[in-house]
Amino acid sequence: MYWRTRGMRLFSALREDLRVLPVLTLLSYAEIVLCLAALCFLVIKRQWKDYWALGSFLAVRVVSDTTLAVLHQLVHQLGRSTAYQAYFWVYWMAFAVESVLALFLVYGVFRLTLQPLKGLLKVGTIFFCGVAVASEVYALRAAFGPHLSGMSSLIAMISQLQRNQSLLTLGMLLFVFFAMRPAGVSGRSRIFGVGLGLGALAINDLVQSAWLTFRPNVPMVFAINGAVFCAALVLWTAYFALPEPERGEIDFRSPLWRWNRICLGWFA
């Protein structure tokens, strides 16, 4: 099931590169197991209310990965053309849903971090919603570019949505990591762990996208992508499995506290 972490245009190239196939297959099955482990600990620790977007993201990933694994095993019975079409719709629909859920996930990390700072939370929510809507509109415009039609338009739109989501994620997480300590969030907090994993995935997605623009047929890129995603899953599993320390006190000497009071004045 080495298709899951690959782009559609590499369908044939990966079939021919047998050296990479065992690594991709191992990473794909490891991804399913780690997704299930992270999801189980999230539910067992009763964190679904705060991290429902992460739980939904993991559930979609498990379903799509498992479906693609079955398609890979049945490629000869179904025929290459039928398997390709089935793969296309499962892969790209799951990719689109995951990109949207990632936006809710990064907002959830932002909301949990700034929960005690209501003023900054309100301003940040307005900013986030504005940028998210603009990203969606820009992604829709990408589908109507020149020389694009049918499946090419769909791929262009979803790919642009994913790139926009990665950029927005990095921008929001940069502020969140700056605000964590003044807001009483430590490095052992689940908020920090989830944010760190999200940041690693966003950076990986942007680097991979830029790399494939210039060198589209490099199967090893997708092995690296799978390894990074598995590492993020291990990180999330560990943070949900281990006990979480209690949240610290707000640092009232921080500039964030002053900014929060100013923001509260805007909504008074």
In a domain, 191, yes or no: yes
In a domain, 125, yes or no: yes
Query: Residue 20 has what pLDDT?
Result: 59
Query: Residue 3 has what pLDDT?
Result: 35
Rounded distance between C-alpha atoms, residue 168 and residue 135, angstroms:
9
Coil vs helix vs strand at 184: coil
In a domain, 1, yes or no: no
Contact 143, 153 (CB under 8 A): yes
pTM summary value: 0.83
Query: Residue 21 has what pLDDT?
Result: 64
> Tens digit of pLDDT for each residue in 133-189?
887 777 667 666 665 556 666 666 777 777 777 888 888 888 888 888 888 888 899
Rounded distance between C-alpha atoms, residue 193 and residue 159, angstroms:
26
Tokens of 3: 């298709």
| Domains contained in the chain, number | 1
In a domain, 159, yes or no: yes
Query: Residue 10 has what pLDDT?
Result: 41
> Tens digit of pLDDT for each residue in 116-134?
888 888 988 998 888 888 8
What is the span of the domain harbouring residue 155?
Answer: 8-266
Query: Residue 215 has what pLDDT?
Result: 60
